Copies of this chain bind each other. A is one copy, B any other.
Amino acid sequence: MNNIYMGIDVGGTNIKFGKFNANGDILNKWEITTRIVNNGEFILPDICDQIFTHIDYGDKLKGVGIGVPGPVTKSGVVLGCVNLGWPIYNIEENLSNLLGGIKVKACNDATVAALGECYKGAGINCTDMVLVTLGTGVGSGIIVDGKLMLGYNGAAGEIGHMPVKCDETEYCTCGKKGCLEQVASATGLVREAQRIMKSTDISTTLRSINSFSAKDILDLAKLDDKVAMDVIELTMGYLGIALASVACVINPKQILIGGGLSKAGTFLLNIIEEQFKQYVFKPCGDIEFKLATLGNDAGIFGAAALIINS
């Protein structure tokens, strides 16, 4: 029999699956659409269907790791995944029961992605690291001393809601003002660009693009468009402040940058590192900045690591 493990990454749009051997080598990967109707009640049955369909003759399923978009307590209770419509319930117990008692380990998706990068990506062999995800939102997963940092309620690493911009006038989705996510996410970049464009006459190619995106801003900044560059320096300045605070609190060895915005590559990475250096306390500032390398697969690798190492 071949011992196999499933690594699963549940998102609001898709559910990604990876089938792994005991060494964490990926044997197969695929994805399905997330059915969020009826408070997400089809999600676990759909996952079980997929698992059973992909177990081959000679496979012995030893366990399932799963990352979900919301806080998960140490005992496996999801504390409300708003995107999926889920109530508060014990996902480890429920999924295990549906799978006839197979062991299940669940965790927040950002933390699982960090574990994935430590396991098979840019953070390999690093025991103290933070994976920062810059996309529609801003999140992070934290590894301390080789272990996932979950937090008392499973809400550790929620850096998107660190208060960094004291003069922000608009509200964040969380109900506060001045959160990191309001400035350093893809939507944050676009909003700050619109603000800067309103406040100045400086010419910028952004004015000629109908509803430009964060990618447009990054592409133009690389071409020395002044307004685009100002937007990146302003927004990554706030990220630098937030990461300087993270460094004071947990003193990691590495900070990895992932998520959609990180496709801008070393151009963006270097700006983030420069901004960070301006604000960080020196004894906590000796940090390697790297780009994450697993992209959208970080979650399934991390979910596999979660169960294989459990």
Interface residues of A (CB under 8 A from B): 71, 74, 79, 127-128, 142, 144-145, 147, 149-159, 161-163, 166, 174-176, 179, 241-242, 244-246, 248-253, 279, 281-284, 286
Contact = CB atoms under 8 A, between A and B. Distances in A.
B251 A284 contact: no
B151 A284 contact: yes
Contacts of A242: 245
A170 to B, nearest CB: 16
Nearest to A79: B283
A241 B156 contact: no
Identical subunits present? 2
A281 B174 contact: yes
Given A149-B144, A241-B163, A281-B179, A158 B251 contact: yes
A162 B251 contact: no
A172 to B, nearest CB: 9
Nearest to A166: B166
A49 to B, nearest CB: 31
A248 B279 CA distance: 19
A248 B110 CA distance: 13
Nearest to A254: B152
Given A161-B284, A162-B281, A179-B281, 12 more contacts: A127-B152, A128-B151, A142-B249, A142-B250, A144-B144, A145-B149, A145-B150, A152-B253, A159-B248, A176-B281, A245-B245, A249-B249
Given A144-B149, A149-B144, A166-B166, A155 B245 contact: no
A286 B249 contact: no
Contact of A175 (B147, B149, B179, B282): B282
A246 B242 CA distance: 10
A157 B246 CA distance: 10
A68 to B, nearest CB: 14
Nearest to A142: B249
A127 B74 CA distance: 12
A249 B246 contact: yes
A96 to B, nearest CB: 23
A153 B286 contact: yes
Contact of A248 (B158, B248, B284): B158
Contacts of A179: 281
Contact of A161 (B79, B152, B248, B250): B248
